[in-house]
Amino acid sequence: MVQSRQPRSKPHALVVGGTRGAGRLAVRRLVADGYRVSVLARNPPAQTKQKLRNVRYWQADLGNHASLAQALTSINEARGALDSIAFFQRFRGTSEAWHGEIETSLTGTRSLIEILVGQFNLRNAAIVIVSSVNASLISKHLPLGYHVAKAGLNQIVRYYAVALGARGIRVNSVSPGTFLKEESREVVLSNRKLVALYQRIIPLGRIGTADEVTDAVTFLASTRSSFITGQDLVVDGGLSLVFQEALARELVPIGTASRSTKK
């Protein structure tokens, strides 16, 4: 089956995981930028007062190949070929974390790209995958599967950038550090100690926001980045550049500990 190319004025974007968090913001941003947006997630979005024009929702589980293929067929029939695809999904399940992370992040992303390329002859499109600084850095509060899946996504980006370049398909990733989103803003900002620490250790002096992650994604999803492919854009205020030992020295300058214990 070939992508149905209907006469249309607005570009068509697919946002995977666009019902919550940063993905939901990306949907709003893409609409503001003049896209028609198709959103894919397992559940419909929570009711919002403001209905977005040019947005349609499809339900499918990235872990279920048949439901994914069915949803992509419906999207293609209803709205035609895709110009941009952004992956924001995150495994938040209660099932076994390793399997869930690999299935939702890696296998789901690969399946969706393979269906679009194989079944719908995807061409001249931009793919953006939201990865994480945890593709290379370790956070003990996050499971092994999250780290491995994010590292794998960065390699998926490089592989497909090379493999699909001749079709005019660009593939890039955005790697955020922790960012504030609507759902977490209050709880993070009410923790003054944590906010003060972020201000101290992040070179740009504050925690980032979902808006700023979305800015990077929509740039890479648009024709403004038309000669960029296979790249990872880190959005963390510079934190991952700082050597941990330097942070330790800044928080406890050498000499202060011994001075403070002097009688």
Gap between the Cα atoms of 67 and 243, Å rounded: 45
Segment 214 to 253, residues that bind ligand NAP, using CB under 6 A: none
Residue 43 within binding range of ligand NAP, rule CB under 6 A: yes
Q: For residue 234, list its beta bridge partners.
A: 175
Cβ proximity to ligand NAP, 160 vs 179, nearer residue: 179
**Is residue 141 within the footprint of ligand NAP (CB under 6 A)?**
no
How far apart are alpha carbons 238 and 256 in whole angstroms? 27
Q: List phi, psi (to 5°) of 58.
A: -125, 140
Catalytic residue among 35, 57, 146, 160: 146
Establish if 88 lies at the interface with ligand NAP (CB under 6 A). yes
> Segment 193-212, which members bind ligand NAP (CB under 6 A)?
none
Q: Is 57 a catalytic residue?
A: no
CB atoms closer than 10 angstroms to residue 200: 11
Does 132 bind ligand NAP (CB under 6 A)? Our answer is: yes
Tokens linked to 223: 């024709």
The answer to whether residues 12 and 120 touch, using CB atoms and an 8 Å cutoff, is no
| Binder among 19, 38, 173, 209 for ligand NAP (CB under 6 A) | 19
Cα distances (angstroms) measured from residue 79 to each of 8, 72, 197, 237: 9, 10, 47, 37
Q: Amino acid identity, residue 194?
A: L
Size of interface with ligand NAP, in residues (CB under 6 A): 24
Report 101-120 residues binding ligand NAP (CB under 6 A): 104
The residue behind tokens 């001749």 is 166
Residue range at the interface with ligand NAP (CB under 6 A); choices 83-91, 112-120, 160-168, 242-250: 83-91
Which parts of this chain interact with ligand NAP (CB under 6 A)?
17, 19-23, 41-43, 61-63, 88-92, 104, 130, 132, 176, 178-179, 181
Active site residues: 146
